[in-house]
A and B are shown apart, each in its own frame.
Chain A
Amino acid sequence: MKELRPLSGLDAQGPVLRPLGGPCAGEPPADDGVAALQADKAALRRFVLWGVPALGLWIGLYAVLEPLAQSVVYDLLGFEHGSRFADALAFFLYDGPKVLLLLTLVVFGVGIIRSFFTAARARQLLAGRRESLGNVLAALLGIVTPFCSCSAVPLFVGFVTAGVPLGVTFSFLVSAPMVNEVALVLLYGLMGWKVAALYLGTGLLVAMVSGWVIGRLKMEAHLEEWVRLIHAGQDLPEEELTWAGRIRAGLAAVKDIVGKTWPWVLAGIALGAGIHGYVPEGFMASIMGRDAWWSVIAAVGIGIPMYSNAAGIIPVVHALLEKGAALGTVLAFMMSVIALSLPEMIILRKVLKPRLLATFVGVVGLGILLVGYLFNLVL
């Protein structure tokens, strides 16, 4: 990758010749290990040395963002208070950097936490678990285990062959994409901790309950045949990470996730800013409001075939809420977009027969519907 370190054991021309075979082939000499350990310690010191001022800078920036955005729009650019364009611009200039700052810090933290939980470790923790408790654990592990949607099938097979009950596997499979750290940051940054906590809580609940229900339905026969014939029993050796390695993992996560999602975040916030400035108050109330009983069903129906990442959808969700859409409807829409996407289903079709796949979509969709109606009723 971009991390260019001198390649040990290599010179410019080619590989250094080493005796092939023999008992020590493949093992680095002992002093390499000591040197690596010392290099890691030095790296850790350097991370701390840079990390403390970086954190100070972060806090300082975060504190001055709001007055700064205000003074840029109204003093520097001389817009009048209350004009629509100025409103939208101030919204964008404040919320854009705020969300990016939060995102960077949280993704870094989650990157470090994730270095403790690999897919293999999740598999070990879940193997042979009883249902109920297993569903809870699987949903929680789904938050912290690194997971890319194209890993869904290998992961699924890995879980099933390790003796993780089908329902528990589904709890993991639902919670992993649905409870997403980028979504959590955006919700917190734009709508406050209550909405963020609601999203986290209900997301976990849907994952636990729908996994449990699928487990009750005893649909093991609806896996594709080849899945049951595979015995991927052995666990591969895990590498132990040092703290310097974990910090590197955090930085890599920032580069990877923030580096990829920032245009989406900014585009979403710009769209949100436009809605904030120009769409009249209460405009959404009639279509996505609490009184329109069918709105939750429509929201889920529209959301399932849609495919977007959390970063793009949440600023829009925020603006919808502001203009009178009901929270339950909006949450249901967001969850169906993130948790049930067409590309993932096409991939999952390789391991699930149509009936099991339909059951999965049905149960999760139903759970999301219930969440939507519950919130519209309670809040």
Chain B
Amino acid sequence: MEIKVLGPGCPKCHETEKLVREVVAETGALATVVKVSDFQQIAMMGVFSTPAVAVDGVVKCVGKVPSKAEIAAWITQA
């Protein structure tokens, strides 16, 4: 599973990345976490409000810091 955290690098994007990594560690899921900060790549995914999270190429959340429960739900459902 590949989890992409999309965001140019503001505090909210950093917080999102931190939470995603924490949840991955806590659940022991087999997932790689990638931070995407290139605007072109972010735009290519149809995301225009950051931070955003995509799991295996499917955008799950846009424009806000997700809660840990939300992140956990994406990981277990995928």
- Interface residues of chain A, those whose CB is within 8 Å of chain B, are 1, 3-5, 7-10, 13-16, 18, 25-28, 118-120, 123, 146, 148-151, 153-159, 161, 226-227, 230, 232-236, 347, 350-351
When chains A and B are docked, how far (Å) is the Cα of A146 from the Cα of B50?
11
Chain B residues with Cβ under 8 A from A14's Cβ?
27-28
- Closest-CB distance, A170 to chain B (whole angstroms): 15
The reply to whether A236 and B39 contact each other, CB–CB distance below 8 Å, is no
The reply to whether B42 and A154 contact each other, CB–CB distance below 8 Å, is yes
21 contacts between A and B (CB under 8 A): A1-B67, A7-B73, A8-B69, A16-B76, A28-B77, A119-B63, A120-B48, A120-B49, A120-B62, A123-B48, A146-B49, A150-B8, A150-B50, A151-B49, A151-B63, A157-B48, A159-B48, A232-B43, A232-B45, A233-B46, A351-B39
The reply to whether B76 and A15 contact each other, CB–CB distance below 8 Å, is yes
- Those of B20-78 within 8 Å (CB) of chain A: 27-29, 39-40, 42-50, 59, 62-65, 67-69, 72-73, 75-78
The reply to whether B43 and A158 contact each other, CB–CB distance below 8 Å, is yes
Please give the number of chain B residues whose Cβ is less than 8 angstroms from any Cβ of chain A in the complex.
Answer: 36
Whether A150 contacts B13 in the complex (CB less than 8 A), given A7-B68, A120-B62, A157-B43, comes out as yes
When chains A and B are docked, how far (Å) is the Cα of A217 from the Cα of B26?
54
The reply to whether A5 and B69 contact each other, CB–CB distance below 8 Å, is yes
The reply to whether A10 and B50 contact each other, CB–CB distance below 8 Å, is no
- Closest-CB distance, B46 to chain A (whole angstroms): 4
Q: Which residue from A4, A13, A230 sits with its C-beta under 8 Å from B44?
A: A230
- Closest-CB distance, A127 to chain B (whole angstroms): 12
The reply to whether B29 and A236 contact each other, CB–CB distance below 8 Å, is no
- Closest-CB distance, A256 to chain B (whole angstroms): 9
The reply to whether B48 and A25 contact each other, CB–CB distance below 8 Å, is no
When chains A and B are docked, how far (Å) is the Cα of A324 from the Cα of B76?
63
- Closest-CB distance, B19 to chain A (whole angstroms): 7
10 A-B pairs with the lowest CB-CB distances in the bound complex, closest first: A158-B48, A119-B49, A150-B10, A157-B43, A154-B48, A232-B46, A26-B77, A14-B28, A7-B72, A150-B8
Q: Which residue from B8, B28, B40, B68 sits with its C-beta under 8 Å from A230?
A: B40
The reply to whether B19 and A1 contact each other, CB–CB distance below 8 Å, is yes
The reply to whether B48 and A119 contact each other, CB–CB distance below 8 Å, is yes
